[in-house]
Structure 1
Amino acid sequence: MDHDHMHDMPPPSSPSMMNNGSMSGGGGHHHMMMMHMTFFWGKNTEVLFSGWPGKSSGMYALCLFFVFFLALLTEWLAHSSLLRGNTTGDSANCVSGLIQTAVYTLRMGLAYLVMLAVMSFNAGVFLVALAGHAVGFMLFGSRAFRKPSGVGKTNDLPTSGC
């Protein structure tokens, strides 16, 4: 067999794969699902759970709202006062530290769920995740909706060297 011309050969047919990696000609009813590795548009996708949202436009809209809400909630938790400890005393510090840890863990879990949703490579899911983070930051992290807390407060951004 001439190894220089192997790239001209057609790909092998798709037999079922056994759990140990060997090929079998039949008998097994294993389904291999192809996952998108590039962004695509459309409502026929799977996000977070097998078979969800399905092929329904309404379920796809619910999926987009869910991802938006997860991203918004992630930003709210990131900028929440629950992550800042402002109590005194050893027992209060311990309780405050446990609450901070629980909120941080919840925030990270939600952030990972948003990341996994984006890994569906659905462009709509990607855009609503970005929109959820943007709206969440604008509402909870930026100065757009903050009440002025004091006169003469310094800028949060580092000063420019120029």
Structure 2
Amino acid sequence: MDMPHDQNMPMIMNMVMQMNFYWGKDVTILFKGWPNNNLGMYILSLFFVFFMAFGVEIMSMGPIMINKRPIGIIESGIYYTLRMVLVYFVMLAVMSFNIGIFIVAILGHGLGYVVVKFRELVAAETTTDSNGTDPKV
């Protein structure tokens, strides 16, 4: 029995997605043709994913100033939306199943978390010092 000829069949057959972790620079991250099997572009994409994951953690502290005025609420909404865009971009990059991308995403989140916690610790100590109490007690 003959199957109907579909002109889109060759295109569909070329869209096979990797479904297990693998090493290598031959990967598509976020956009078709990026990093285009080029080692330099692959390394650049590793840095890009690292800094996106790092940025997600830094942005998890929230906006510096939140106020109840309408403009402050709009700014907070934009800030949150930008953070979520980064979150989903990192998630989609990791879904390439490339081990290098996975490792740099984890390292970016980890280092970002350490920086955020360090900043919170410094802020807590500064607050304690400005209250006139000895933080060492």
Q: What range describes the TM-score normalised by the shorter chain of this pair?
A: 0.7 to 0.9
Cα distance in structure 2, aligned partners of 1:57 and 1:101: 38
Q: Which has the higher strand share?
A: 1
What pairs with 1:23-62 in structure 2 (closer than 5 Å)?
A: 24=5, 29-30=10-11, 31-62=13-44
Count of residues paired in the alignment = 125
> What does residue 143 of structure 1 align with?
118
Which structure 2 residues correspond to residues 6-155 of structure 1 after superposition, within 5 A? 24=5, 29-30=10-11, 31-82=13-64, 85=66, 87=67, 93-140=69-116, 142-143=117-118, 146-147=121-122, 148=125, 149-150=127-128
Structure 1: any 5+ residue segments left out of the alignment? 1-21, 154-162
**Is the alpha carbon distance of 1:71 and 1:26 closer, same or farther for their aligned partners in structure 2, counting shifts above 3 Å?**
closer
Higher relative contact order (CA 8 A, sep 6+): 2
Q: Which consecutive segments of 4 or more residues in structure 1 shift more than 4 A?
A: 25-29
2 CA distance for matches of 1:81 and 1:112? 19
Which residue number corresponds to residue 5 of structure 1? none
Matches of 2:41 and 2:26, distance apart in 1: 10
Q: Which runs of 5+ in 2 are unaligned?
A: none
Asked if the contact 1:44/1:55 (under 8 Å) is kept, the reply is: yes
CA drift of 1:26 comes to 7.5
- Structure 1 vs Structure 2 CA RMSD: 2.6
Q: Secondary structure at the match of 1:121?
A: coil
Structure 2 Cα separation of the partners of residues 152 and 49 of structure 1 = 54
TM-score (norm 2): 0.79
% identical equivalent positions: 38
C-alpha distance 27-122 of structure 1, shift in aligned 2 (>3 A): closer
- Structure with greater helix percent: 2
CA distance in 2, matches of 1:70, 1:49: 15
Tell me by how many angstroms 1:145 deviates.
Answer: 7.1
- Whichever residue aligns with residue 16 of structure 2, its letter is M
